[in-house]
Structure 1
Amino acid sequence: MLSQNEVVKIFQDSGALLSGHFRLTSGRHGDRYFQCALVLQHPNYTETLCRELAERFQGEGVSAVIGPAMGGIIVSYETARALGVRSLFTERENGMMKLRRGFSIEPGEKVLVVEDVVTTGGSVREVIEVVRGLGGEVVGAGVLVDRSNGTVDLGVRTEALLTMEVVSYEPEECPLCRQGIPAIKPGSRT
Structure 2
Amino acid sequence: MGERERLLEILREKSYEEREVTLTSGRKSTFYIDGKQTTLDPEGAYLVGKVLFEMIRGRAEAVGGPTLGADPIVTAVALTSFMEGYPIAAFIIRKEPKGHGKGLWIEGNKALAKGTKVAIVEDVVTTGGSLLKAIKVAEEHGLQVVQVLALVDREEGGKERLAEEGYTLEAVFTRGEIVSR
TM-score where L is the length of structure 2 = 0.76
Q: Deviations over 1:11-67 (max 9, x none)?
A: 122x2101123333444432210111211221211111231111112221x221111
Amino acid at match of 2:11: F
Structure 1: 5+ residue runs without aligned partners? 166-190
Identity rate of aligned residues, in percent? Answer: 28
**What's the offset of the Cα at 1:134?**
1.8
Give the gaps of 5 or more residues in structure 2: 82-86, 99-103, 177-181
Pair member with larger Rg: 1
8 A contact 2:62–2:90 mirrored in 1: yes
Contact 1:7 1:161 (8 Å CA) reproduced: no
Following TM superposition, where does structure 1 have runs of at least 4 consecutive aligned residues deviating by more than 6 angstroms?
Answer: none
Cross-structure match for 2:101? none
Counterparts in 2 of 1:13-162, with a 5 A limit?
13=13, 15-60=14-59, 62-83=60-81, 84-93=87-96, 99-101=105-107, 103-104=109-110, 105-148=112-155, 150-154=159-163, 155-162=166-173
CA distance in 1, matches of 2:106, 2:162: 27
More helix by share: 2
CA distance in 1, matches of 2:106, 2:24: 26
Aligned equivalents of 1:69 and 1:135: distance in 2?
A: 19
Residue equivalent to 2:12: 12
TM-align CA RMSD: 2.5
Question: Deviation digits for residues 102-159 of structure 1, max 9, x if unmatched?
Answer: 6243121111111111111111111111221122111101110111264342532321
Residue 80 of structure 1 aligns to which amino acid in structure 2? A
- SS at 1:153's partner residue? helix
Determine the C-alpha separation between the residues in 1 that align with 2:76 and 2:94.
Answer: 18
Structure 1 length as normaliser, TM-score? 0.72
